[in-house]
Every structure is written in structure tokens, then in C-alpha cells.
Structure 1
Amino acid sequence: MTDVPARLTVVTLGARDMGALRTFYRSLGWPELPGGADTWAGFLLGGVLLALFPLDELAAEAGAGGPPGAWSGVTLACNVDSREQVDSAFAAAVAAGATPVADPVDRPWGGRSGYVADPEGNRWEIAWAGTARFDERGALLAFG
């Protein structure tokens, strides 16, 4: 296995109006994960988590400075198997040409993550969450 597993585990949308966005996705019939609130909400969709997070908080966490329009408000995540693996995967991504935008830190929600930008500026979160469970292919089975 490489230091950065070939996984897309989470797509996070920066929400301008969390209540309206949560209502929309629930109206589609998508079951919201337990613990959803106007501070964070998630929907497990066929092995990938769709997460909703307030846009201003996501921008602060993902290091979204730069010229206006340089960041879309969307992040992708690659969840790794251990807290320690966050740092090695982060370093491997940077060595491969990613730009570090937010160094790995322990997060208030109990996990650890850092952010890099690919050559087009897309934000990838390299993360570990103790509640994430994967199948043998690396597909996300549970989150929370």
C-alpha cells in the first residue's frame, strides 16, 4: 500500500445555509447520519460520505486564502487507517507535488487531519476519524 491510499471517502460541501441544505438532501430521501445538526451533517452514499459544513468554518479549516474565486467551497477527503498515517500521507502528497495549505492537527471532533491542494487548487483533506470503517477495497462502510 502507498502512503496515500487510493480512496475518495468524503466530499464536503461548504454550506451557506446549513438548514436549507440539510432539508434539501433529506427531501431527496437520503438518510442523514445520527448527530446531524446545523454545525455538521452527513449522508452515507454508496461508500462515500457527503458532508455538509458551514462554509466560513470550512474555509478557515481548509486554508482557503488567496484571490477571490480561487477556491470553490468543496473539499475532497482521503481517510487513512490511523492517526499517525495522516502525517505520512500528508508528506507523501506534498512530495508528489501537492501544496500544503493546512498542516495536520488534532481536530476538536476527535480526529486528525491536514489539507493539501492539488496542482489545480482542489483541496484534499488527509484525515483520520476513529469512527470510519472500510471494507477490504477501502470503500467507506460507516462513519460515526
Structure 2
Amino acid sequence: MTVPQRLSFVTIGARDVGRLRAFYAAWGWCERDGGSDAFAQFDVGGVRLALFPLAQLHAEAAPDAAPPEPGTWSGVTLAVNVAARAEVDAAFTAALAAGATPVSPPVAREWGGYSGYVADPEGTRWELAWLPGLLGD
């Protein structure tokens, strides 16, 4: 047997699940039924984004590691790709209006796309990107 080639969940360990729930709702994302300030889920394409208390996630996934320090970057970025270059600027503006912190404004990238980065209220980095041909532009 091999490990199936798919991604089912992305779980963000949250210091304040309620605050992140409100943030992603402000992005216009619809939460799955049954969420609370202790655990929340959003369908994002064929993957589910989960918000789970950081202390509990740390105990499960990294019991022998030091907990991450508040405000430090994990080295992981998540991305939302859009169908047209101009949509990056619109998504960037919408993310900031929802409470995201700008990390780097959208710029043309050496790999041929256009993207910028924002951080959610707990520092998770999101790339808002257009990659020619990815979404059938």
C-alpha cells in the first residue's frame, strides 16, 4: 500500500478559534454546520479547512516539540488562486477589509504569475495568486 495522493484537511492550530471563525466568515466563506468557538470547518474546494485549538493540536501532532511562539511564522503558506490577474488585487483588498494584515503587496513574480501575501489575525500566511493557465483563464 502507498499513501493516497490527496489532501483532505488543512488544520490551523488557533489560539482563538472564535476570532479566526469571524475572520474567515468576513472573507465571505461559509462555515460548515456544527462549528463553535472550539472547532470550526470551512469547505474550500475539495479540501476542508479546520480551525482547532492550538494547545490540543500541539498535544496531538507535536507532543515532543516546543509550542510555537505567538507571532512567529510556521514556514507554511496557504494559497487562494484566482482566474484573472486583476482578481488578485480585488482579493487582496477584500482580505484587508476583513482584517488581514498585509505582508507583501501583489507583484509580478519571476515564475510568470502575480501574487501578494496577507496574514490572518494569528499570523497564518495566505498567498492570493494568479498563475496563468491554472484555472483556465
TM-score (norm 2): 0.49
Q: Which has the higher strand share?
A: 1
Structure with more relative contact order (C-alpha pairs < 8 Å, separation 6 or more): 1
Query: What TM-score, normalized by structure 1, do the two folds share?
Result: 0.46
